[in-house]
Amino acid sequence: MCYGQTASGKTFTMTGSTQNYKYRGLIPRAINNIFSEVGGRFDTQITVKVSYIEIYNELLFDMLSNVPPHEQTGTSITVLDDSKGEVHLKGLTMI
């Protein structure tokens, strides 16, 4: 998660530079690590799903939705706690 003022580098921290692999951000690095780990497990069938949200002014925006973020209301995703204490986001796109 990134938090900070406008123009403080949050997007760059998360996504990095597309021109230089050396300056990739947290998301590409995390995805690379996940698939490196999964790729080494030949004895197990693994399904990987991804979601991507932006929290802005306490509203949740689905960054993988077919609806562009500027057209979303920010209220179509519901935060739920289950009996195990896990948090789920109902209405969030999972690919």
> Which pLDDT value is given to residue 33?
94
Same domain (yes/no): 2, 43: yes
pLDDT in tens, the chain (95 residues): 677 888 888 888 888 988 988 999 999 999 999 999 998 888 989 999 999 888 888 888 998 999 888 888 877 888 899 899 888 889 899 99
The C-alpha angle 23, 58, 85, rounded to 5 degrees, equals 90
Please tell me whether residue 13 adopts helix, strand or coil conformation. helix
> Which pLDDT value is given to residue 70?
82
Same domain (yes/no): 35, 59: no
> Which pLDDT value is given to residue 36?
93
DSSP string, 18-65: SS-GGGB-HHHHHHHHHHHHHHT-TTS--------EEEETTEEEETTS
Please tell me whether residue 16 adopts helix, strand or coil conformation. strand
> Which pLDDT value is given to residue 58?
84
pTM for the model = 0.68
Same domain (yes/no): 30, 62: no
Total domains in the chain come to 2
Domain residue limits at 3 = 1-47
